[in-house]
Amino acid sequence: MGKLTREAVVERALEIGDAEGLQAVTIRRLAQELGVTPMALYWHFKNKEQLVVGMADHLIEGFEITPDGSRPWREQLRELVGRLVRMLRRHPCAEAVLEEVDKMEVPAFLRVWDTALGLTLRAGFGARESCLITRYILQGAIALAGGSVEHRRCGPEGHAEHVRLKRVRFQSLPPDTYPNIVRMAVPLTERGDAELYDTFGVDLLLSGIESMAARLDG
Amino acid sequence: MGKLTREAVVERALEIGDAEGLQAVTIRRLAQELGVTPMALYWHFKNKEQLVVGMADHLIEGFEITPDGSRPWREQLRELVGRLVRMLRRHPCAEAVLEEVDKMEVPAFLRVWDTALGLTLRAGFGARESCLITRYILQGAIALAGGSVEHRRCGPEGHAEHVRLKRVRFQSLPPDTYPNIVRMAVPLTERGDAELYDTFGVDLLLSGIESMAARLDG
DNA sequence: ACCTGAACACCGTTCAAGT
DNA sequence: ACCTGAACACCGTTCAAGT
């Protein structure tokens, strides 16, 4: 019925990935859910790698970043990171997708990267520093936000169970070799603490850059 | 001849991974190189996941971190990150291994994490902030250092060719949508710039934490 | 305790063929 | 242009059996 289009395939893939993890996204499984032969997908994607590229592109696509020379670069960088973080929280499989993919192949990611580069250059950083900083902030946002995502692999009560199990595992570690982990089992396993991540986490990322920028000015 | 031991398997796996990438490390390939049946490995490892856990543990094992109450926490955190970065540069597959693995299952990683937690707690951060910060700094170090690694997938001249190709790809992007990437194709593809990564990169990571700590004191 | 043989249920991918 | 059928070369893993 519904024609097999690139977009439909990618969206279905993201649904599976968000629900069951990226490793559940296989060509054969995808084809089955779309009511089609595995080989049909090879008409729309050269190979599986390009399918994942498509997933990544779809995730970042709608960011609509408009570099604005009149607003301060810190503010705009913060906004960029904020968008990344929110997207990562909406899509549990986004972190895995962005880690697996060669980001150079993802147009939407390159646009984000280009914008970030423009901002750090404007901040006064040199070419090589800007490369490092942008890599750092984008990777950092993915790692930080991704780590805070509750994977919905098993439904809400399955998630709570998963957290409980992890906590128990921490608590039953030998306290003489892992004193802090044992003692902090509860805060370590508290996830989805959105507020803390959105404020403290992003602050942490940006304050590093800002203090490096301060050294440039001083 | 040489008996099939857990350690021998893990070391062989790391050799393959460093040389050809983690995706080349398969049970069957590993068994073949060790002159043994694939099923022999299942005597020493419950499954492939546990093999990768073993690889990760072996990578971090020799860190010998001795928390020293008399030295400043910044210095010790910096040393910890430095060790991680150097290990990641020595082992091209380390980043992939540490991303794939469930770090909770890796004793050596838990010891590093515990040490880092002890240091941030001593710095005056609260429990939840310490969790965030340690996750941030460990993940950040992995992402930053891993991104600077030259994968020896194809030998030295194959690597140079790979860089050249990537550079050309950047340069031939549409300059109106990716102005900065096109203009900075050269610095973007310069890798193995060890000095810059070891100083600026680690500074960047730590200055974020230090400026957050300054807010606590102030 | 340590390893083998045979089998199972999965992958991604190619290539010729259909409409 | 868009999809199917059959086949190939790979995976990880189980289970009974060997020494």
| Among A84, A91, A136, A93, CA closest to A111 | A84
**Residue B5, exposed/middle/buried by CB under 10 A (0-12, 13-18, 19+)?**
exposed
Is residue B38 pLDDT above 80, yes or no? yes
Instruction: Decide if A139 and B135 are in contact by the 8 Å CB cutoff.
Output: no
Rounded CA separation A57/A102 (Å)? 11
CA separation, residue B148 to residues A135, A136, B35, B95, B184 (Å)? 10, 11, 35, 10, 17
Residue B154, chain A, CB below 8 Å: the answer is no
Identify the band that residue A34 occupies on the pLDDT scale cut at 50, 70 and 90.
very high
Q: Which of residues 10-49 of B touch strand C (CB under 7 A)?
A: 36-37, 39-40, 42-44
The percentage of chain B sitting over the pLDDT mark of 70, rounded to a whole number, equals 95
Nucleotide nearest to B44 (CA to C1'): C2
Average pLDDT over residues A47-65: 95
For the segment A174-197, what is each residue's pLDDT rounded down to a tens digit?
999 999 999 999 998 886 567 777
Identify the band that residue B201 occupies on the pLDDT scale cut at 50, 70 and 90.
confident
pLDDT value, residue A108: 97
Rounded CA separation A158/B8 (Å)? 38
Identify the band that residue B191 occupies on the pLDDT scale cut at 50, 70 and 90.
low
Is residue B1 pLDDT above 60, yes or no? no
Tokens of residue A202, six digits: 């992003």
Is residue A218 pLDDT above 70, yes or no? no
For the segment A198-214, what is each residue's pLDDT rounded down to a tens digit?
788 899 999 999 999 99
**Which candidate from A127, A136, A173 shows the least CB-CB separation from B187?**
A127
pLDDT value, residue B167: 94
pLDDT value, residue A46: 98
The percentage of chain A sitting over the pLDDT mark of 70, rounded to a whole number, equals 94
Chain A residues close to B193, C-beta within 8 Å: 128
**Residue predicted with more confidence, B216 or A109:** A109
Rounded CA separation B208/A121 (Å)? 19
pLDDT value, residue B155: 66
Instruction: Decide if A117 and B184 are in contact by the 8 Å CB cutoff.
Output: yes
Average pLDDT over residues B6-29: 97
For the segment B123-158, what is each residue's pLDDT rounded down to a tens digit?
999 999 999 899 989 998 998 887 777 777 666 677
**Which candidate from B121, B143, B181 shows the least CB-CB separation from A113?**
B181
| Contacts with A, B 44-103, CB within 8 Å | 99
CA of B27 to C1' of C3 (A): 15
Q: State the nearest Cα–Cα gap between A92 and chain B, in angstroms.
A: 16
Least confident of A78-82, B78-82, B96-100, B187-191: B187-191
Is residue A52 pLDDT above 80, yes or no? yes
In one-letter notation, the amino acid at residue A45 is F
pLDDT value, residue A7: 97
| Contacts with A, B 158-177, CB within 8 Å | 166, 169-170, 173, 177
Rounded CA separation B25/A58 (Å)? 30
Instruction: Decide if A131 and B184 are in contact by the 8 Å CB cutoff.
Output: yes
For the segment A111-124, what is each residue's pLDDT rounded down to a tens digit?
999 999 999 999 99
pLDDT value, residue B133: 92
The percentage of chain B sitting over the pLDDT mark of 90, rounded to a whole number, equals 73
**Which candidate from A118, A188, A205 shows the least CB-CB separation from B208?**
A205
Identify the band that residue B171 occupies on the pLDDT scale cut at 50, 70 and 90.
very high
By the 8 A CB rule, do B44 and B9 touch?
Answer: yes
For the segment B78-110, what is each residue's pLDDT rounded down to a tens digit?
999 999 999 999 999 999 999 999 999 999 999
Residues contacting A39, CB < 8 A, separation 6+: A31
pLDDT value, residue B75: 93
| Among B5, B22, B4, CA closest to B13 | B22
pLDDT value, residue B151: 74
Average pLDDT over residues B58-62: 96
- The overall average pLDDT reported for chain A is 91
Give the Cα-Cα-Cα angle B18, A88, A151 (nearest 5 degrees): 80
Identify the band that residue A145 occupies on the pLDDT scale cut at 50, 70 and 90.
confident
Residue B207, chain A, CB below 8 Å: the answer is yes
